[in-house]
Chain A
Amino acid sequence: MGEKDVDERRRKEELLARLYDEYYDKIARYIFIRIGHQAEAEDMAGEVFLKALESLDSYQERGAPMQAWLFKIAHNLMVDYVRKVSKRKTIPIDKLEISDKVDLEETVERRLQSEKLSQALKQLTPAQREVIGLRFFAGLTSNEVAKILSKSSGAVREMQSAAVKSLRKLMYEGS
C-alpha cells in the first residue's frame, strides 16, 4: 500500500471513529426496531463498526455519505440475523427488556405500547419497516434512505406515508 493509500485509509478510519459516538446509538435503535431485542441490537451495533473497519477500503466517498453506508452494513447484518432466527416472534410482555431505572408503572405502560407497536410493525412490508427504522431512528433523509434501499426518493416518501398511515390505524384504531 503506497503512502497516499495509507493516508487515505487513515482519513477514512478517522471519519469512522468520529461517527462512532453519535451513530452507535442510532444504529442500535434502528436494529432494535427491526429485531425487538435490546441486547442483540447493542451487540450488533458494535459489530457494524467492526465490519465497517474491515471493509473500509470498499467505501467510496463519491457515493452515499459514510453514515448511510454504516446503515447499509447494519441492514445486511440484520438480514443475516433474521435468517438465523428464521421466524419472527411476538415479544411476550414479561420478556421485553427494560432499563433498571424506569418507573414500574411507566414501564408497564411502555411495554404495552411497545407490544402494540411491535404487532403493528409486523403488519408492514419489510421495505416499509426499513424506511421507518432509517427515517425515524437513524435520522437519515429520504434521499439517503433511497440510496441505501436502491429506490427513488419518491418511492421512499410513498412507503413512508403508507407505513405511517398503517401504523396509525393499527395502533389507535386496532384495524
Chain B
Amino acid sequence: MSRDFDEILDECIDRINSGQGIEECLASYPEHAQELEPALRAVFDIRAAYSFTPRPAVKAAARQRFYAALDSLERKRQEHRAVPRRLLRWSWAWAGIAAILLLGVIGYALMTTLAPANAGILEVRVTDAPPQDVSEILVSVDDIQVHKAGAGEASGWITIIEEEKTFDLIKISGIEEVLGSEEIEATDYTQIRMDVLWVEVTIDGEQKTATIPSGTLRIVSPFSVEKGEKTILTLDFDAEKSVKVTGTGEVIFRPEVKVLARKGEGS
C-alpha cells in the first residue's frame, strides 16, 4: 500500500473512532474506494468482534478500590498537616472552596447497651467548588442513610437523619456544619444516600428552582465506624459540575459528590 493510502486509512480510522461510518470516509476518497472499503470493513468487524462492555459490578468494584486508594493518600496527607479545625478544608477532589456538613454518627458495639465508651462518631463533610456568578446554592435533603457492608440491599440501610436539612453550598464554604448524629454499629459501611428535596440557585441575583433529574443521591464509598472513635465523612460537592445552566436558562442539579472518610476526635 502506498504511503498516501496509509495516511488516508489512518484518517478514516480516526473518523470511525469518532463515530463516523464507512460511507462518509469513502465519500471523501472515492478514488481509493476499491482499496479502502474492504480495509474499513475489516476495521469495523475487528472492533465489533472485541467490543465487549466490562461487567458493571466488576467495574464498580475496581472503581471503589481506586477511590479507596485515593482516600487513603489524602488521609495520610491530612495527617501530616497541622491545620486549625476551623480552617480545615478538603480540596482533594476538585479545585475550590470547602463547604462542609457534618453528620455525626455514633457507633456502638454489637449486642451491647449503648455507652459512651463503645461509641464511635461518624461525621459527614461536604466540600464545594462554586461556579462563577452563583451567589447561593440552597440544597434541601432528608432521610440520610448509610448502608452496612455485606447487608441486603433493602435491609442494610440505617437512617442517620430523617428530618429535612437545608444548607447553602456557597455560604458554608470553609466551615463545618453538623447535620446531625446517630449511634450506629461499629462496623464497615459502603454507601451513603439521601433524598434531595429541592435546590434553589441564585445566579446573577436571580433565584431559580433547579431541576433534579434524580431525587436520590447515592454515593458508593467504603468507610468504617470504630468503637470509641469518631469517623468524619466529607461529602466533596463540586458545585461547578453539579449545577448546570442550559441554553434555555434551565438550571439542572446533578450532584457530583465524592465521599472522604477519616478519623476525628473521640466521641
| Contacting pair A99 B53 (CB below 8 A) | yes
Number of B residues near A (Cβ < 8 Å) is 43
Q: Chain A, 134-175, contact with B by CB distance < 8 Å: what is the 0/1 string?
A: 011101011000000000001001101110110110011000
Cβ of B49 to closest chain A Cβ, rounded Å: 5
| Contacting pair A167 B42 (CB below 8 A) | yes
31-57 of chain A: CB within 8 A of chain B: 32-33, 38-39, 41-43, 45-46, 49-50, 53
| Contacting pair B17 A139 (CB below 8 A) | yes
109-148 of chain B: CB within 8 A of chain A: none
User: Which B residues touch A14, using CB under 8 A?
Assistant: 92-95
Cβ of A50 to closest chain B Cβ, rounded Å: 6
Q: A42-B54, A50-B66, A167-B46 are in contact. List 18 more A-B contacts (CB 8 A).
A: A13-B73, A13-B92, A14-B92, A20-B63, A29-B52, A32-B50, A33-B50, A46-B62, A46-B66, A50-B69, A117-B50, A139-B17, A158-B3, A160-B6, A164-B42, A165-B39, A168-B39, A171-B42
Listed by A's residue number, 22 A-B pairs whose Cβ atoms lie within 8 Å are A1-B77, A10-B91, A14-B95, A17-B93, A25-B53, A25-B59, A29-B51, A32-B50, A43-B58, A43-B62, A45-B62, A46-B59, A53-B66, A53-B69, A136-B43, A142-B10, A160-B10, A160-B13, A167-B42, A167-B46, A168-B42, A171-B42
Ranked nearest first, the 6 interchain pairs of A and B with the lowest CB-CB distance are: A46-B62, A168-B42, A157-B6, A139-B17, A42-B58, A161-B6
